[in-house]
Structure 1
Amino acid sequence: MDSTPIVSSLSNQVNPSTLKPMKNFYLGEPLALGITQILIGIMGIVFGIMMDIAIPYASHSDYFRQKTPYWTGILYIISGSVSVKASKTPKMPWVKGMLVMNVVSTVAAAAGIVIASISFIFYYLRPRGPIRNGIQTVLFIFTIVEFCITISTAAFGCRTVCRDTYAETIVVVYQNMTPDNAVSQPAACKDPETA
């Protein structure tokens, strides 16, 4: 038999779902973060409804007059749903959609933080009641958590999508050795136990 090495490239035979970018994508836990985004969106909408029912509209802060819990909550639910779908179906279009929706949700969460901060400064520094201040504080905390989640999910999505190449080259070296050829090997290549 011939002792020349045979080099085989398996880059075309690798399953795309097992590529390294997709493995990095799963390190970001898109399923858990997507479910958390959905829950935060639902809770934001529920607290917005509670605020609309419990307190007259004329005494609402800018945060509630602009219906911030509703439009941010809807965006959080959409981005969370796309994240869950991307984690269950790891295809590049879903990962790209997840990246776009999480960037949009990051901008919405940043806007929500700014609006809530302005409402705190100009409206909630005067005592208005524990319900109003409590709901506003809970929604502010949810918005900060959502901001952190969307940034981390978008970062892992970007690490997956923003690459020059997706092909991984795996090199396998086969070397056929017969017992006759093993005798003629240099001393450095022989098994140390048999030498």
Structure 2
Amino acid sequence: MSTPHIVLKEEARMLGATQVMIGLIHCALGQLWTYLYVNHYDFFSSVYLPLVFLSGYPFWSCIIFIISGIFTIEVEKHPSRSLLMYTVWMNLSSFIATIIGIFLILFEIIYFLAKQVKEQWPHQSGILLTTQLWIFSILEMFLTSKVTKWGKKVFYTGNKHL
């Protein structure tokens, strides 16, 4: 027996799981950045400013994305008005974190490309890691906006289910 609410509930759970996975991917990319930066500090110190890594974006965004994903999953399992409100707030926080991250990433890439220096493989690896962070940040931005839209709609209509 399929109703629109059941389909929407399953989508909310899947979106929450996707948010958790994106958070874990950000953490893994941050670990790779740490390894790259520590082992090749000489290459980065003079030419490439890894602003995204130095700001800690992969790590603090990881925590925010995972928490917002967990809230999204939990509100589907145990629907309550207060949990829904927390879910909307966490997804708004996640959305703001993605906007900050996207601007940091764009600034880093533009700053590096404007220098027009000869790229070495650590620089190319850094740009690749930063670009992957950018792609997953954009995906997270779309997911959080969708969950926030659904949550606000449910919260203001008085419905008990996502």
TM-score by length of 2: 0.81
Q: Which amino acid aligns with 1:54?
A: L
Do the aligned partners of 2:23 and 2:62 also contact (CA within 8 Å) in 1? yes
RMSD of Structure 2 on Structure 1 (CA) = 2.5
Do the aligned partners of 2:15 and 2:69 also contact (CA within 8 Å) in 1? yes
Q: Percent identity?
A: 23
1:147 matched to 2:141:
yes
Report SS of the residue matched to 1:29: helix
Do the aligned partners of 2:71 and 2:83 also contact (CA within 8 Å) in 1? yes
1:162 matched to 2:156:
yes
User: 1:25 offset after TM fit, Å?
Assistant: 9.2
Tell me, which stretches of 5 or more residues in structure 2 are unaligned? none
User: 1:130 offset after TM fit, Å?
Assistant: 2.6
Task: Answer 1 or 2: which has greater strand percent.
Answer: 1
The aligned counterpart of 1:63 is 52
Tell me, which stretches of 5 or more residues in structure 1 are unaligned? 1-21, 168-195
The aligned counterpart of 1:8 is none
Instruction: Classify 1:25/1:72 alpha carbon distance in 2 versus 1 (closer, same or farther; 3 Å).
Output: farther
TM-score by length of 1: 0.68
Instruction: Classify 1:33/1:91 alpha carbon distance in 2 versus 1 (closer, same or farther; 3 Å).
Output: same
Q: Which amino acid aligns with 2:99?
A: A
Instruction: Classify 1:154/1:136 alpha carbon distance in 2 versus 1 (closer, same or farther; 3 Å).
Output: same
Equivalent position to 1:79, from 58, 63, 68: 68
User: 1:74 offset after TM fit, Å?
Assistant: 0.6
The aligned counterpart of 1:45 is 27
Larger radius of gyration: 1
Give the structure, 1 or 2, with the largest relative contact order (CA under 8 Å, sep 6 or more).
1
The aligned counterpart of 2:8 is 26
Question: In terms of mean alpha carbon deviation, does 53-62 or 146-155 score higher?
Answer: 53-62
